[in-house]
Chain A
Amino acid sequence: MPGKLKVKIVAGRHLPVMDRASDLTDAFVEVKFGNTTFKTDVCPKSLNPQWNSEWFKFEVDDEDLQDEPLQITVLDHDTYSANDAIGKVYIDIDPLLYSEAATVISGWFPIYDTIHGIRGEINVVVKVDLFNDLNRFRQSSCGVKFFCTTSIPKCYRAVVIHGFVEELVVNEDPEYQWIDRIRTPRASNEARQRLISLMSGELQRKIGLKVLEMRGNAVVGYLQCFDLEGESGLVVRAIGTACTLDKLSNTAFLPACNSPSKEMKEIPFNEDPNPNTHSSGPSTPLKNQTYSFSPSKSYSRQSSSSDTDLSLTPKTGMGSGSAGKEGGPFKALLRQQTQTALEHREFPFFTLTAFPPGFLVHVGGVVSARSVKLLDRIHNPDEPETRDAWWAEIRQEIKSHAKALGCHAVVGYSESTSICEEVCILSASGTAAVLNPRFLQDGTMEGCLEQRLSWQPGFFSIGSEKGEVDFFPQNQDSSSLLGIEETSPPGCGFCHIPYDELNMPFPAHLTYCYNCRKQKVPDVLFTTIDLPAEAMVIGKGCLIQARLCRLKKKAQAEANATSISNLLPFMEYEVHTQLMNKLKLKGMNALFGLRIQITVGENMLMGLASATGVYLTALPMPGGIQIAGKTPNDGTYEQHISHMQKKINDTIAKNKELYEINPPEIPEEIIGSPFPEPRQRSRLLRSQSESSDEVMELDLSHGKKDAFVLEIDDTDAMEDVHSLLTDVPPPPGFYSCNTEIMPGINNWTSDIQMFTSVRVSRLSNINLTNQTLNKNFNDLCENLLKSLYFKLRSMIPCCLCHVNFTVALPEDEIIQVTVTAVAITFDKNQALQTSKVPAEKTLQRASTDNEEQLQFPLELCSDPLVSQPFSPAKEVLENASSHTGIPAAQGAASLDKASPLAEGHLRHRSIPSYTNSTVSVVKMTPLSFIPGAKITKYLGIINMFFIRETTSLREEGGVSGFLHAFIAEVFAMVRAHVAALGGNAVVSYIMKQCVFMENPNKNQAQCLINVSGDAVIVVRESELEMVPGQPSAAVSQSANAGGDVTT
């Protein structure tokens, strides 16, 4: 009996009227945990009841504490008939189970009903007393911390990164049980919500146990998903990265706050662009884009026969053999080390997308695998082996792909499914990589610490003294001191190919790294991870999407699975081609955060790939796109082709300007610097800027392959070229990316707005061909983006970060696209300034290299606009301005533009009372940080699942009204839970599922939403630094008052 859960019900407010006669409600509350239930007294005739209950105490196993949610039901007492439920609150008490997180949950929670939505609020206090557990065979894993964040959380240090953990649990879906025919929709929804809550608790506990076994204490990059398999059941599965984390004493001096973006800013052209000069010796690696696709053909139960494929050994041999040859002894050594570190792991996978510096040595490229399965009808909840086996198979394949690329690990790993009827596509993807073994060893903490220390100074000196010749000797010293530890220059090392040049797993054009000139790099690089902090980038990045539809015949069972399997390779190929073309069109050479989603529907397959394109200085400048016609003799055709070619060239030029891609002209004096082969290098550089005939004389270049040739041999291809050109760039002042941060922008303000947008489009009246489908889908996505830009126009200059698209095909001819992202305003002027102060930059760079985490630069926070309870100063001002003009139109304009400060003086008398608003502000973001603020504490994971149903769809404003209200409710409930934990922000927020079904004829609709994130406490950097109460803050605040679209 190792835990005591204590619950107190304080009060309710804004309850709905349950008794029409009196217009009042006689409310009481049931508090249930496990099988124990307590009740409060009835608070008669009040919409704002005060219960002030005693402490209800539950004595429970910690296993139950982890699995079960606390269930609070508010009811209306009825003397004569059954009591009516008003609504429920589920509280996940997991955050109370580990010592460093929250200690109490206390606050107002929306009372939620699956049919009516939010109906009033209830104030609850929850505490847990945990007793020490001496049982060695325990089933609970209390104390293991979970983080959705896919990088090492800000106030922690990774001592050891153990690796991949996964688990899945299955159950029958209550919606498909026989009892569902006789129970109310409400009862059925609640059964489902409760079951999923239980299952995710159980899953988390089991994962926790695995982590403890690995001697870790935390799971980072925890991703939990539901597969609603319909009749065959409900699967809840999760993956994550087990780590041993060490809490940084968070007071004091963390020079910490460094903007992630800061460090990857463009290299100062007027200086020597290579910190790498010193990288001297021994590194080798390199490698590139690798897009290896391989839908496994297996389907249904015959899997074992069809897809035994890949025996992994030969390829592995190739990988490491090459290393020895090319890279010299060091590389081999490194490889060995890594290998041993990873060897004992079944799957050397990491769900992280950003890493401590030095962790990522080389990146091979994207690896992905898909498999089509038939869901089995009979299902034994106690034996999830089938599903386990399916995933094991896919992971095995991923592993072998990584080996083929000469990599031992996969980073940025994720898994997903798409289900339609009884067919299920399982997908996994990640980025093959070579990792630094240092972090992977189960050494003692001290050992690790030492290693880290010995290695960091090297980075430090490189960073801070880069480009200054005088320091070279020193650098060399330090690197030699570090010995083999120092593998490659930070700015470009990860681009160097890890596989053998002579024995490449796929055709690629290799050149010497444009940065260090030492190792080979590919011409393009695709990855699923975030842009490494140390990466050197020119210009800004942009969101690149490939969109594709393929019609498929309706079929049953195995025939269906077969036809899907057959289509998959073509889709992957096309998606890849589109991405490549669009990347070239943007004049960029690398993709980060690549996520390819293949969705299966009744009669079509859809592919949507999103990634962030950037120009890496280490990689060669991308060639253009050349169009080749098939009938060169036809005059008009020729003309047409050349016209197209001109358009494409214009677009590329325009994009280069737009994204500020202007690769450096390296000044003459550097030629004398200690490059090993200066001659060769200077030539090479010239070739970049001059015409292509010079390319011939360069031994390094890949000659005529310079340009990417698009052959237009039929109308399809023509369409493709057209569609390439239809993507409109975002309007001025907007940038977008699907990674955490945008290269080239480093001066975020704290003005952020997280949002979710959903569109459902019906393809009726459309002649269904691949072309029309493609066009429609493309338009749908483009229009959605345009709409976002329009809505967020008041935030300009602004960047949409972490743009996450998901596509679903809920029914025939219906496409649903859901986007979640965060818009962050940045300060244009500051950008210009910083780029002119290289010294400052160097400094920042150094400190970030030193400090593992991506955080925000101190200087940015000079801009306050504090969130917390919105500052009263600001209110007063706005109020004041709002009475100056009653008729609104002009008022509106002046409110936004005019200085509220001036108006503020006009009228000092102001509105009473709402300064004491009880609602605290909670910011939400899909990013792992809040701009301009520092995370001081992680309070626990938020993982919530809601169902909403209506039988009066029209009355609720149709499908749009219904879903709009529901999503707003979900946000509200997440905020309330975070606030009750004592937090003021959610980071790494993600809407994992949004399943929407409607039946307009019956006036019904249902929606399921699953969201998760990390509840945190953030403190503004300005508050951290300054003593409170400075008048200057009030002033600058007022200046911001107009544009308050804060989140």
Chain B
Amino acid sequence: MTNDLDIFVGNTTLIDEEVYQLWLDGYSVSDAVTLRLRSGILEQTGATVDVLQSDTMDHYRTFHMLERLLHTPSKLIHQLHFQIPPSRQAMLIERYYAFDETFVREVLGKKLSKGTKKDLDDVSAKTGITLKSCRRQFDNFKRVFKVVEEMRGSLVENIQQHFLLSDRLARDYAAIVFFANSRFETGKKKLQFLTFEDFAFCAEQMIQNWTLGAVDSNVDDMDVDLDKEFLQELKELKVLIADKDLLDLHKSLVCTSLRGKISVYNEMEANFKNLSRALVNMASKLTHTKDVRDFFIDLVEKFIEPCKSDKWNLNDVRLFLTQYTTSARSLDAFRHQALWDRYMGTIKSCLLKMYHD
């Protein structure tokens, strides 16, 4: 005897969070049943495999019907079809838009295009995340990107408003959108030690300081694109390395104040000019899209790696960057203090965040 039809419909939509996660993770019904079996649920409840199978099917059907609404969370809130308490709606949305760390590292900074989507099976093979789940996560990124791309106002707030996400998740999405828009390279081997959290932090710093929104809060795209004028102006910083006297003076100021405080004084002294050149050169090149993309590689190659090879610890880096930034202010010949602070403030926080194993 086979059950052709087997359904359960509650007036309040019944949602099993465990099954929801399995569904989100892209498991088929039979895989989900196997996984649930392993969790020992049958022993706890005294149910049979049939019951588990039917229960899983029911939930999957429900989720399938809800998925359409989850694409536009505001619809989920206002629809009449499924009665779901708001707390549960929030959970459904939050989980649906949640993503895997390993997955996001694979696509962060990539163009959210059909081409990238086609390569998801490689990502799936590499990360061990099911293709279905990869697709959902990718589609989520893309959907959020499309909606907020052209919008005015704060990126985080826009995402929160349209997708009803928690503050934290909205911030993560802001970072993803920002990275996808500027196409920062994050996938190179040298960058593998960096976590999504590192990048998200950097993105937030850049959004806060380097975009149009940092100066004018009422323009289109204000949080998504970098402030072109600012990037152009950064060329002015070149004077710090081009003018030999200025460079020497800067060095001596830094060295004087760090003597005895920093554990790698000699290495610092020896490397000062290289490091300073690296940081200033990066600034002056940011007008080129290509160099913007390589921003993180440059930070790692030109600053983090040299410091690491000289065994600087995090505190050394912090002392150096602080001193390096403030000393430039006391250079009388250097007249771009505000620009310098806007640039170095972000660079410093990014570097400090990224300086780990």
| Chain A residues close to B by CB (< 8 Å) | 13-14, 108, 110, 118, 121, 731, 753-764, 766, 776, 779-780, 783, 786-791, 793, 814, 816, 870, 874-875, 877-879, 882-883, 886-889, 891-892, 895-896, 907, 909-915, 917-919, 921-924, 957, 959-961, 963-965, 967-969, 971-972, 975-976, 996, 1041, 1044-1047
On whether the beta carbons of A913 and B161 are closer than 8 Å, the reply is yes
On whether the beta carbons of A922 and B79 are closer than 8 Å, the reply is no
Chain A residues whose CB sits within 8 angstroms of the CB of B51 once the complex forms: 783, 786-787, 790
Q: A759-B6, A889-B18, A909-B167 are in contact. Are A779 and B160 (CB under 8 A)?
A: no
State how many angstroms separate the Cβ of B132 from the closest Cβ of chain A: 16
On whether the beta carbons of A968 and B95 are closer than 8 Å, the reply is no
On whether the beta carbons of B10 and A753 are closer than 8 Å, the reply is yes
> Is B242 in contact with chain A by the CB < 8 A criterion?
no
Chain B residue nearest in CB terms to A924: B11
Most buried by B among A877, A878, A896, A964: A964
Q: A791-B55, A968-B65 are in contact. Are A911 and B11 (CB under 8 A)?
A: no
> Is B14 in contact with chain A by the CB < 8 A criterion?
yes
Chain A residues whose CB sits within 8 angstroms of the CB of B21 once the complex forms: 888-889, 892
Q: Which of B138-195 contact A (CB under 8 A)?
A: 160-161, 164-169
On whether the beta carbons of A874 and B161 are closer than 8 Å, the reply is no
On whether the beta carbons of A959 and B5 are closer than 8 Å, the reply is yes
A967 to B9, CA, bound (A): 7
Chain B residue nearest in CB terms to A775: B1
Determine which of B18, B61, B99, B160 lies in contact with A911 in the assembled complex, contact meaning CB atoms within 8 Å. Answer: B160
On whether the beta carbons of B61 and A957 are closer than 8 Å, the reply is yes
On whether the beta carbons of A788 and B11 are closer than 8 Å, the reply is no
Chain A residue nearest in CB terms to B69: A14
On whether the beta carbons of B5 and A960 are closer than 8 Å, the reply is yes
Chain A residue nearest in CB terms to B25: A888
Determine which of A883, A976, A1044 lies in contact with B167 in the assembled complex, contact meaning CB atoms within 8 Å. Answer: A883
Determine which of A753, A760, A786, A892 lies in contact with B12 in the assembled complex, contact meaning CB atoms within 8 Å. Answer: A753
Beyond contacts A762-B2, A791-B55, A914-B77: 14 other A-B pairs, Cβ-Cβ < 8 A, are A753-B10, A754-B10, A756-B8, A760-B6, A786-B47, A789-B47, A878-B87, A895-B17, A913-B74, A914-B86, A963-B5, A964-B62, A1045-B12, A1046-B85
A960 to B60, CA, bound (A): 11
A488 to B2, CA, bound (A): 53
What are 17 A-B residue pairs whose CB atoms fall within 8 Å in the complex?
A: A14-B75, A755-B8, A755-B11, A758-B7, A814-B4, A877-B87, A883-B169, A887-B98, A888-B95, A892-B20, A912-B161, A913-B74, A913-B77, A960-B7, A964-B9, A1044-B88, A1047-B11
Chain A residues whose CB sits within 8 angstroms of the CB of B61 once the complex forms: 957, 960-961, 964
Chain A residue nearest in CB terms to B91: A882
> Is B82 in contact with chain A by the CB < 8 A criterion?
yes
> Is B266 in contact with chain A by the CB < 8 A criterion?
no
Chain B residue nearest in CB terms to A763: B1
State how many angstroms separate the Cβ of B270 from the closest Cβ of chain A: 44
On whether the beta carbons of B48 and A780 are closer than 8 Å, the reply is no
A791 to B3, CA, bound (A): 18
CB-based closest 10 A-B pairs: A878-B87, A892-B17, A760-B5, A888-B21, A883-B166, A755-B10, A967-B9, A754-B11, A757-B8, A964-B7
Chain B residues whose CB sits within 8 angstroms of the CB of A783 once the complex forms: 48, 50-51
A895 to B6, CA, bound (A): 29
B interface residues, how many (CB within 8 angstroms): 63
On whether the beta carbons of A919 and B2 are closer than 8 Å, the reply is no
State how many angstroms separate the Cβ of B165 from the closest Cβ of chain A: 7
Chain B residues whose CB sits within 8 angstroms of the CB of A1046 once the complex forms: 12, 85
State how many angstroms separate the Cβ of A845 from the closest Cβ of chain B: 33
Chain B residue nearest in CB terms to A756: B9
Q: A761-B2, A972-B82 are in contact. Are A875 and B9 (CB under 8 A)?
A: no
On whether the beta carbons of A14 and B78 are closer than 8 Å, the reply is yes
> Is B217 in contact with chain A by the CB < 8 A criterion?
no
A917 to B89, CA, bound (A): 11
State how many angstroms separate the Cβ of B193 from the closest Cβ of chain A: 21
Q: A753-B10, A971-B9, A1047-B12 are in contact. Are A776 and B1 (CB under 8 A)?
A: yes
State how many angstroms separate the Cβ of A86 from the closest Cβ of chain B: 16
A763 to B3, CA, bound (A): 9
Chain A residues whose CB sits within 8 angstroms of the CB of B74 once the complex forms: 913
A75 to B11, CA, bound (A): 29
Chain B residues whose CB sits within 8 angstroms of the CB of A14 once the complex forms: 75, 78-79
A913 to B167, CA, bound (A): 13
> Is B54 in contact with chain A by the CB < 8 A criterion?
yes
